[in-house]
């Protein structure tokens, strides 16, 4: 008896008509990428479901532990293979159900006897397996329709296959199925969560971060690197573009009155992002903005900021509350990184009273005295690009 | 010189010293500083922490000034943090003073303490533990390996007894870590270990824990996630990680232990105190009517270093509380010596000890 297979049920992809096979292919590639550190996995993608096979039970345990993060999967089940004897099947059934919570749960066994040579008829098999499970776990009761636990037994040519546990997947679409977009990553709570929502809809991410040394320090940068690393753990690698932003930010402060520097700074970020977008084949900009959260996130502000670009700006968090965002951040493991107390380029230079209703014409008027184009191009040209996940080598390995 | 006092402390390994020196030379920044040097020191500190957590299979690792402080934090800190749940704590009479003094202090503050007695083998009665448990018992604190006799407490059975209760289990594993294997599933809620017992450096301990949040007893700048304030000595932490990684039991300890038990068996006036089931690296024995100090200094004349029952108690004249609690006959009580093996102990050392002991014994008997 061994667990050597995992059965995967697709998420929404089942409804995607002609694109279906490309979605399935994408999912298969993402699974390969996610588990590239493990031994060889055989992945067999069928129309309705996918099977992962491996001879290493340890590897499969890893797959089971990490698969709930991979998008495009509705649910999955470990499959146990046993030899073709009723005793082996009974033993396996007891072991499989033993891993689940049985107290007060309803239960049934179903059997597919594809191998007609097998010595017992279906009712006998049902009876034998069912009674050994029920006599072991007294909390179970039998229910034929919609039981909490259904143990499925498939008797094939060379072996029997059994499965009961159904583990929820992450849902959504396989990453990459939805194209690529550029996420503005600040280091705060919101932007990684916005990125996560888009990943879930199958969008691959490029990340852009604005770095203003010496006003922001290495710790703040480290924080962003750690966030980028987290965002690369959902089945697809990401590139982080670190933009040297100090000069642009200083120029803005020289040119525009204090209470609209924030609006103008954001407009510069958009313009830089637009340039990076062109070079990285992205089709949209993603931000973590949530309406009304801060001065820059009023409709008036968004209008004035958005005016610099015609690129679609996706704001998946626009209607969510801070508490919902915090919940998601905790769930995806970015919360503790985001709350580290280091300044980012948005929190320094913040004027005491930023305008919550900036006027576009005014902003344009003040910006109009100089051309920012050169500084923007310079920032784009001097950006640092880091690929994630980072190589896992521990720099202190020899020391420790 | 033959050093057989490894339960008092051990000689730091060369590799551990190398790590300590390199960390001091290259990564001397304060891990809380914002600059690069601080950042690198923090990365080293966190790598050391992760490595130790992984080695122990525990979630949280807090660096302390040693085993004593870790025990204080585990007991005083847990008591403080969970006093609203209850004010009853269970321990045993043979625990280390850092545990016993902690519970004494809590008792003076109104906590109720159950101190379980031990039988002649140094074991507590598991049924007694079970019946002592109450709804308001917040902590059971027991040691894995006794420092004076090597008596081993069954941690897995403690865990089983506490299963389904809200009582936390703290295990002082200072003498056991790296010496006897502990299964992942046996890991308690809180675990104390110390570096200098496994060929690391003195002044360096760890309290590891899972789903429990002890209240800090050393307070200040909020380092170590608030669990232990004070600038974290990164080189010590790194050296500890190294020492723990290198620590492993020597299967020969058991053989030597057996050899020495047989050897002591030849003398009518020598009684082996360590129970049969004790950990292999600690062996205590007593000579009738003779003070332990005399044996210790006589053996030292022969270049053999051993101690009386424990290094901590050897300086005060009283008989060890452990030896008393195990009901060792009065004539033997003050004649206890302890031999303890480490990574550098060899078979030749064991042979040399026997040779020297025979000589010493004859001299003392001749007096």
Q: Give the pLDDT confidence of A149-178 residue by residue, as tens digits.
A: 999 999 988 889 999 989 999 999 999 888
The total domain count for chain B is 2
For residue B346, give the nearest of B215, B236, B256, B267 by alpha carbon.
Answer: B256
- The pLDDT value recorded for residue A393 is 63
> Is A399 in Cβ contact with B242 (below 8 Å)?
yes
Total number of residues shown for chain B: 367
Angstroms from B13 CA to nearest CA on chain A: 13
| CB of B159 closer than 8 Å to CB of B186 | yes
Give counts: helices (H), strands (E), chain A.
Answer: 13, 15
Q: What is the pLDDT of residues A301-351, one digit of tens each?
A: 999 999 999 999 999 999 999 999 999 999 999 999 999 887 665 555 666
User: Nearest residue of A to residue B242 by CA position?
Assistant: A400
Q: Which residues contact A312 (CB under 8 A, 6 or more apart)?
A: A283, A284, A285
| Residue B54 forms contact with A (CB below 8 Å) | no
The total domain count for chain A is 2
Q: Which of the four pLDDT bands, split at 50, 70 and 90, describes residue A209? A: very high
Angstroms from B33 CA to nearest CA on chain A: 10
B125 and B182 both lie in a single domain: yes
Q: Which of the four pLDDT bands, split at 50, 70 and 90, describes residue A36? A: confident
A6 and A117 both lie in a single domain: yes
Q: Average pLDDT, whole number, for chain A?
A: 89
B91 and B146 both lie in a single domain: yes
For residue B91, give the nearest of B117, B55, B130 by alpha carbon.
Answer: B117
Ranges of residues in chain B whose predicted pLDDT is under 50: none
A133 and A258 both lie in a single domain: no
Supply the range of the domain harboring residue A105. Answer: 2-171
- The pLDDT value recorded for residue A268 is 96
| CB of A67 closer than 8 Å to CB of A50 | no
B157 and B105 both lie in a single domain: yes
For residue A399, give the nearest of B35, B36, B238 by CB distance. B238
B84 and B141 both lie in a single domain: yes
Angstroms from A142 CA to nearest CA on chain B: 28
A71 and A192 both lie in a single domain: no
- The pLDDT value recorded for residue A16 is 61
List active site positions of B: 312
Q: Which of the four pLDDT bands, split at 50, 70 and 90, describes residue A219? A: confident
Distance CA(B95)–CA(B99), nearest Å, equals: 6
pTM: 0.73
- The pLDDT value recorded for residue A49 is 86
- The pLDDT value recorded for residue A11 is 78
Supply the range of the domain harboring residue B291. Answer: 2-9+249-366
Bridge partners of B338, per DSSP, are: B284, B307
Residue at a domain's end among B202, B218, B246: B246
B311 and B273 both lie in a single domain: yes
User: Nearest residue of A to residue B47 by CA position?
Assistant: A396
Strands laid side by side in the A285-286 sheet:
A313-314, A285-286, A180-184, A204-211, A238-244, A384-388
Distance CA(B357)–CA(B287), nearest Å, equals: 11
Distance CA(B78)–CA(B89), nearest Å, equals: 10
Judged against a pLDDT cut of 90, whether residue A3 lies above it is answered with: no
Residue at a domain's end among B219, B246, B273: B246
| CB of B271 closer than 8 Å to CB of B288 | yes
């Amino acid at each position: 008896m061994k667990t050597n297979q995992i059965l995967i049920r697709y998420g929404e992809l089942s409804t995607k008509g002609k694109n279906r096979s490309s979605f399935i292919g994408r999912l298969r590639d993402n699974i390969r990428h996610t588990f590239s550190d493990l031994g060889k996995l055989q992945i067999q993608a069928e129309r309705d479901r996918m099977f992962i096979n491996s001879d290493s039970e340890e590897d499969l345990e890893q797959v089971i532990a990490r698969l709930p993060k991979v998008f495009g999967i509705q649910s999955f089940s470990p499959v146990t293979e046993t030899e073709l004897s009723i005793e082996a099947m009974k033993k396996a059934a007891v072991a499989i159900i033993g891993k689940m919570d049985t107290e007060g749960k309803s239960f049934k066994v179903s059997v597919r006897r594809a191998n007609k040579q097998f010595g017992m008829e279906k009712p006998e098999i049902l009876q034998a397996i069912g009674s050994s499970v029920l006599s072991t776990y007294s909390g179970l009761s039998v229910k034929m329709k919609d039981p909490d636990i259904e143990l499925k037994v498939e008797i094939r040519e060379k072996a029997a296959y059994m499965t009961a546990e159904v583990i929820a997947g992450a849902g959504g679409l396989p990453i990459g199925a939805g194209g690529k977009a550029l996420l503005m990553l600040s280091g705060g709570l919101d932007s990684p969560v916005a990125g996560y929502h888009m990943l879930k809809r199958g969008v691959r991410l490029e990340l852009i971060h604005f770095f203003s040394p010496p006003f922001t320090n290495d710790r703040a940068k480290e924080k962003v690197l750690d966030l980028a690393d987290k965002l690369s753990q959902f089945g697809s690698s990401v590139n982080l573009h670190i933009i040297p932003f100090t000069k642009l930010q200083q120029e803005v402060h020289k040119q525009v009155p204090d209470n609209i520097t924030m609006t103008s700074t954001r407009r510069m970020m958009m313009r830089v992002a637009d340039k990076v977008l062109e070079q990285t084949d992205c089709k949209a900009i993603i931000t973590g903005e949530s309406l009304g959260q801060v001065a820059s996130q009023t409709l008036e502000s968004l209008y004035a900021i958005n005016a610099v670009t015609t690129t679609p700006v996706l704001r998946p968090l626009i209607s969510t509350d801070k508490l919902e965002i915090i919940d998601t951040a905790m769930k995806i493991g970015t919360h503790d990184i985001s709350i580290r107390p280091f300044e980012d380029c948005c929190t320094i230079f913040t004027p005491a009273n930023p305008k919550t209703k900036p006027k576009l014409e005014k902003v344009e008027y003040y910006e109009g005295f100089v051309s920012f184009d050169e500084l923007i191009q310079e920032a784009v040209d001097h950006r640092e690009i880091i690929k994630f996940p980072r190589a896992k080598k521990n720099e202190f390995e020899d020391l420790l | 010189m033959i050093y057989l006092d490894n339960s008092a402390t051990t000689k730091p390994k060369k590799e551990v010293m190398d790590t300590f020196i390199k960390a001091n030379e290259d990564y001397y920044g304060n891990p809380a500083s914002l600059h690069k040097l601080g950042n690198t020191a923090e990365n080293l500190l966190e790598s050391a922490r992760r490595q130790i957590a992984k080695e122990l299979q525990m979630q949280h690792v807090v660096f302390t000034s040693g085993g004593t402080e870790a025990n204080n934090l585990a007991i005083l800190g847990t008591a403080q943090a969970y006093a609203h749940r209850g004010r009853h704590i269970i321990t045993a009479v043979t625990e280390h003073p850092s545990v016993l003094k902690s519970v004494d202090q809590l008792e003076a503050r109104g906590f109720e303490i159950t101190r379980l007695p031990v039988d002649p083998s140094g074991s507590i009665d598991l049924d007694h533990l079970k019946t002592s448990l109450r709804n308001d018992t917040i902590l059971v604190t027991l040691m894995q390996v006794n420092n004076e006799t090597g008596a081993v407490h069954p941690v897995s059975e403690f865990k089983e007894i506490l299963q389904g209760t809200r009582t936390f289990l703290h295990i002082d594993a200072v003498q056991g870590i790296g010496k006897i294997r502990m299964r992942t599933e046996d890991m308690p809620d809180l675990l104390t270990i110390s570096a200098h017992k496994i060929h690391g450096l003195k002044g360096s301990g760890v309290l590891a824990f899972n789903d429990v949040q002890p209240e800090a007893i050393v307070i200040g700048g909020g380092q170590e996630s608030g669990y232990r304030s004070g600038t974290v000595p990164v080189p010590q932490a790194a050296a500890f990680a190294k020492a723990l990684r290198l620590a492993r039991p020597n299967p020969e300890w058991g053989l030597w232990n057996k050899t020495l038990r047989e050897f002591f068996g030849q003398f009518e006036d020598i009684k082996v105190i360590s129970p049969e089931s004790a950990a292999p690296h600690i062996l205590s024995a007593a000579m009738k009517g003779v003070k332990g100090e005399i044996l210790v200094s006589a053996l030292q004349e022969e270049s053999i270093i051993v101690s009386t029952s424990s290094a901590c108690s050897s300086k005060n004249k009283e008989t060890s509380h452990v030896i008393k609690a195990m009901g060792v006959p009065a004539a033997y009580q003050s004649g206890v010596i302890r031999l303890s093996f480490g990574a550098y102990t060899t078979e030749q050392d064991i042979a040399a000890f026997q040779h020297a002991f025979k000589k010493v014994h004859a001299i003392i008997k001749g007096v």
